[in-house]
Amino acid sequence: MLGASGVIVDGNSYNVEFLDGTCSVLYSGCNEASDFTFQTSGAAELAANALLDQVFLDGVLGDFDSDPDLTAGCEFEFICGAFTPWAGNGVVNDSQLVSNDFEELGDGVSHVAVFVGLHTNDEANRVYAVWSVGAVPVPVPGPGVLVGLGLLGVGVSSLKSPR
C-alpha cells in the first residue's frame, strides 16, 4: 500500500502517502510549524490513530493490518511504524509513531523524538506518513431541486416561444 485518500481526522479529509526518506527532505527542512500538516501533538495523535482505524485494516484490497510489510517502506513482516511529525527544530522532530503490529495487541500510538537526518531506508520497519489536505466535497443539489429547476426552465422557455 502506497497510501490512502479520504482519511478522516477530526472531521476533515486528508490524503496520506507512506514514504521513505528523512524528515528534513520530506517536510521542507523539518524546522518550522508550517512544514507539518498537523502542528500539535494532539492533532498528530488523532492522525496516527486514524491510520489504525481507517487504513491499517484487513479487507478486500489486502491484509494491511495482519501483514504490515504490505505498507510501502516496511519490509519487516511483523510490525510497521509510521511517523507523523508535528514539530521540529532542524535537529530533532517530535512525532507520533503509529505501530501496526501483525497482532492487534501490538498496535498503538506513542510520542517519539527522531533525529531529522534518520533515513527510513535504513529502518526496515519504519516509514514516514506524509499527509496532505484531501479534496473538499462539493455538495450536489438533491433530486427535488433539480426537478424544480428543470420545470422552471421549461416554464420560462414556453413563455418566450411564439405561438
Task: Report how many domains make up the chain.
Answer: 1
Tens digits of residue pLDDT in 91-141: 999 999 999 988 877 799 999 999 999 999 999 899 999 999 987 655 666
In one-letter notation, the amino acid at residue 160 is K
Coil/strand/helix, residue 152: helix
Could you tell me which residues are beta bridge partners of residue 9? 12
Please report where in the chains the cell 501496526 appears, as a residue. Answer: 100
In one-letter notation, the amino acid at residue 70 is L
Q: How far apart are CA 41 and CA 140, in angstroms?
A: 36
Among the listed residues 120, 117, 133, 125, the one whose alpha carbon sits nearest the alpha carbon of residue 98: 125
Q: What is the pTM of this model?
A: 0.79
Print the domain residue range for 143: 3-160
- Report residue 161's pLDDT band, with 50, 70 and 90 as the boundaries: low
| CA distances (Å), origin 156, targets 139, 153, 161, 162, 163 | 26, 5, 9, 12, 14
Tens digits of residue pLDDT in 50-80: 999 999 999 999 899 889 999 999 988 889 9
